[in-house]
Structure 1
Amino acid sequence: MKNLIWIIVILLTGCWYICQFVFDFGGLYVYSLLTLAIILTLINFFVKENQKK
């Protein structure tokens, strides 16, 4: 579980740095899509974990 939190932090930080470079090309839009994708992936992961129990 702790590893998952670190992965999320690294992903968000990485996304933020990438979006600083592409900000002229709608970086905020890209960032919101990436954030949404991460949230959906997490929800999917937790649902699968709960189904295993």
Structure 2
Amino acid sequence: ELISKDKIEQWILPHLSKGKRGFSTRYDLVKIIQLIVKRLKTGCQWRELSLK
């Protein structure tokens, strides 16, 4: 885990807007942000990342 859940909730999530229309994601936004950071840091392929 590159960034802790607490840091993401404190520093990143407050700056993200929540859509008023459309669908809501069924995945945890913290987990999505952690996977994006991991992808950027390691350069692995998107399909190698797992949301589960």
Fold shared by both chains (TM-score > 0.5): no
Structure with the higher fraction of residues in helix conformation: 1
**Structure possessing the higher relative contact order (Cα contacts under 8 Å, 6 or more residues apart):** 2
